[in-house]
Amino acid sequence: MLFHVRMNVNLPHNLPQAEAADILAREKAYSQELQNSGKWRHIWRLAGQYANYSIFDVSDNAELHAILSGLPLFKFMEIEVTPLLRHPSSIRDNDS
């Protein structure tokens, strides 16, 4: 199943720099592992915001929830999820 996910990150201003750096390093490693596995198919930064749009390709809602809640930045995020379906007019076979 494909999901469109918007993630807005709200790091507290009083978060110690060393803690923030550790969280960000773990977040990058986790997201890149998921991208390499094909579960996190696309990620785009939103210009001028600490936010992204992403496309996930997972087996079901439960798997997506497990992935998102495993993000090191999860407790600092607002997340919106939209399930996607293949459009009948699409000419691409690999977009489902």
pLDDT tens, N- to C-terminus, the chain (96 residues): 999 999 999 999 999 999 999 999 999 999 999 999 999 999 999 999 999 999 999 999 999 999 999 999 999 999 999 999 888 898 987 766
pLDDT at residue 1, as a whole number: 93
* 20: CB partners within 8 A, 6+ apart: 11
Characterize 15-31 residue by residue with b for buried, 16 or more Cβ atoms within 10 angstroms of its Cβ, and e for exposed.
eeeeeeeebeeebeebb
Q: Is residue 9 part of a domain?
A: yes
> Domain range holding 58?
2-84
Q: Is residue 57 part of a domain?
A: yes
Whole-model pTM: value is 0.90
Residue given tokens 């497990």 in the structure block: 66
Q: Is residue 12 part of a domain?
A: yes
Backbone dihedral region for residue 38 (phi beyond 0: left; psi -120 to 50: alpha; all else: beta): left
